[in-house]
Each structure stands twice: as C-alpha cells, then as structure tokens.
Amino acid sequence: MDTKLPDSGTTIFAVMSALAIEHKAINLSQGFPSFNPDQALLDLVTHYLNNNGNQYAPMLGVPALRQSIAEKVSMLYGRSVDPDREVTVCDGATEGLFSAIQAIVHPGDEVIVFDPAYDSYEPSVTLAGGKTVHIPLIVTTEKPDFHIDWERLKDSINEKTRLIILNFPHNPTGVILSAADLDVLADIVRDTKVYLLSDEVYEHIVFDGAAHQSFIRHDELWQRSFVISSFGKTYHATGWKVGYCVAPPALSNEFRKIHQWVCYAVVSPIQHALGDYMARTPDHYAALPAFYEEKRDRFCALVSESRFRFRPANGTFFQILDYSNITDEDDVSYAKRLTREIGVASIPISVFCEQTPASRKLRFCFAKDDDMLVEAAGRLCQL
C-alpha cells in the first residue's frame, strides 16, 4: 500500500501507556487526570442521557454551549464573539486542530511549528499536502526557559508560508507567552498573508500569578487566528473529547467546511451538560491555577532530593525533568527502561522534535492524586 503518512507510527502516548499497563507502572506519561470531574457535572450528563439529549447536535454545536463559550471569552479576554458565526464545538481539540489545518493549508504551502511540537501537527500538515518547517524553542543564559527565537521565525517566513502553529501554555515544556511576545509576533506577521493557529487547551492552567495571553485578546492577531481550546483539560474529562474553535467569521466558515465532513456533530448529552454547567458555574476555571500549582509544587518538592534537574513549569500539568546527571542514555530508551524497571512511565521529549535535542529530558504529568505523586517521586529519588 502507498501510505499517505510513511513516517508516522503509533503515537508515543499509546506506546508508553501500553507499556505502563504491561508493567503495572504509575502512569505519569499520557496527560490525563487520575480524578473525576465535579459530581454536579457528572449528574448533568446523566440527566441529559435520560432526558432526550441523545440525538444529533447541530453541526456548529449545541446553542447553549456556544453561548456559554462566547460569554467566557468575553469575560476572560474582553472580546465579544458571535456564538453563531465565530464559535464551533469540535470533537476534541485534536479534531479542531486537524480541521483548521485542512481548511487553510494547500499543497506546497509551508507551516511553521516550534519544537518540541505536539505530535498531531505535522501529520495533519502532511495530509493537507503541506510542508512542516520546524523551529526549535531555545534556552539562553539571559532567558533560561524555553522561548521562541523571534529572529529565526522572521527569517523563516517566505512567500510559501501559509500558517504558523503556536501552543501556549506549551506542551511539553510548560512555558507561556507574555503580552510583549504577542506584540512581537504581530510585528512579524503584519505585512504577510500568514494565518495563525493557536492551540490553547491549557489556557486555564497558568501559575505564579501570570495571565494567559490568548490570541483572542490581541486585536491584530485575532483577525488571522484560529484559537482551539478543550473542555477535557478544564473539567478533568479528557475522555469526553469535546473542544472548540473560536475564529473570525471568514475563518470559521472555512473551518466548518472541513469540520462537517470530519465528524459533523459532537456527542450530544455531554454538550448539553457542559452548556448547563457553564451557565451555573461560569467561573469554575478560576480555581484551576491554584489547584494545579499546588500539585506542581508538591511534585517538584518531592523530586528535589533526586538527581534530576528542573525548572518548575509555568503552566500546563506537566513537569520536565532533566536526567543528564544520571545517564547519557537516549530519552526514548530511558523512558521505557524507567517504566519497566522502577514502574514510573513518562514521555521522552525528543519525539516532539524534528532533530533529537542534545539535552536529556522527560515529561511527567502531575495531574494525579497525591499518593500517586508521592510513590512515583519516591521511586525517582532512588535513581
């Protein structure tokens, strides 16, 4: 068979989760919480399952849910968006990302991503006939966190550049953008025809008093942006696979042309429940930063006596640990060996990069119950 994705194998998330099951390891690899959503939300799902919420939802999404999303966008980012023309509910953020890429990328177009880059981006670009251009995030003495090399980005844009994909708060490194970063990006793309795809699924998980800088907030960037978010990360329900795309009318129209043929409609009772829950508890997400910051701090404190080196994450529910002081083994092999030998599963960072980075880093998910974090950290500290 002449495959369309010759370089694509089984995703590392499936590989590491399967290995964790096989060896009965503590799974800190795939990014899902070990705890349930709010019982009130679960009760609403049950209610709509039993009360006529089981037929096709509208292609755009349940109206009450789109209205709640629009109200949240207005409250958080100060932008009034039309729930009928600018908000589309999608089958998880991954479908939203895929549909946006298929809508905007044509054969021969170039799409810029920043390594480490989430692994669904490049296959979607390839299927659209585009070429993915990888720009590594950098670490400098002056700025020791991962960050965008703006000069390299500027130099990489040419007449073939169609789209730039950004993901902040960033998976896997946990770094965030500042308001000044958005202004720099606006300067770079101002006189181009480049579109932006902003993956903001961790928008509510930002630490140390910082504010998430959504592209929705920025007047200039908003005009050329698809902004993707997810209910899975916000409500501890990653298995529901419900997300949404917010974009100006012209972009939403193109997005929907693809979305309707990818999944048409998203699971109805959960949409009804989410819309109802958001109307009843519109500020639920306000507690997320403190909730996950406490877990980040606990996990970092627990591994502080280990041989791993780290800088506490600025956002997301992932922590990067550098194992350079332990071994020179490549990160894929080491992650698998830790899963087999000490029973702690993680994700190697090199799988998110076009070229294997020189540093030795693994990603650990701390969206877990405290006893799991204590046990996993204890095993890591024994290395």
Chain-centroid distance of CA 366 in Å reads 15
159 and 190 in contact (C-beta within 8 Å)?
A: no
93 and 230 in contact (C-beta within 8 Å)?
A: yes
**Widest distance between CA atoms in the chain:** 59
pLDDT digits (tens, 9 = 90+) for 189-206: 999 999 999 999 999 999
Give the pLDDT band (50/70/90) at residue 307. Answer: very high
pLDDT digits (tens, 9 = 90+) for 120-171: 999 999 999 999 999 999 998 888 899 999 999 999 999 999 999 999 999 9
Residue whose structure tokens are 């701090």: 297
The pLDDT, as a whole number, for residue 48 is: 97
The pLDDT, as a whole number, for residue 182 is: 98
Instruction: Tell me what percent of the residues of the chain surpass a pLDDT of 70.
Output: 99
39-282, CATH topology level: Aspartate Aminotransferase; domain 2 (3.40.640)
Q: What is the pTM of this model?
A: 0.96
How far is Cα 163 from Cα 181, in angstroms, rounded to an integer? 18
At residue 265, does pLDDT exceed 90? yes
Q: Give the CA radius of gyration of the chain.
A: 20
Q: What is the mean pLDDT of the chain?
A: 96
Average of pLDDT values for 81-105?
98
First-to-last C-alpha distance (Å) of the chain: 45
Closest CA to 150 of 172, 126, 127, 181: 181
Give the pLDDT band (50/70/90) at residue 358. Answer: low
User: How many CB atoms sit inside 10 A of residue 352's CB?
Assistant: 22
pLDDT digits (tens, 9 = 90+) for 38-54: 999 999 999 999 998 99
What b/e readout covers 280-301, taking b as 16+ CB neighbours within 10 angstroms?
eeeebbeebbeebbebbeebbe
DSSP state of 316: S
SS3 87: strand
The pLDDT, as a whole number, for residue 170 is: 97
Task: Name the E strands within 231-334.
Answer: 243-246, 318-322
The pLDDT, as a whole number, for residue 357 is: 66
At residue 116, does pLDDT exceed 90? yes
Query: Which tokens hold the place of 138?
Result: 């950098």
Domain ranges of the chain: 12-30+286-381, 39-282
| CATH number of the structural domain 12-30+286-381 | 3.90.1150.10
Please state, in angstroms and as integers, the Cα–Cα distance from residue 377 to each residue in 33, 90, 289, 320, following that order: 17, 36, 22, 13
Strands 26-27 and 344-345: parallel
Average of pLDDT values for 316-324?
97
At residue 9, does pLDDT exceed 80? no
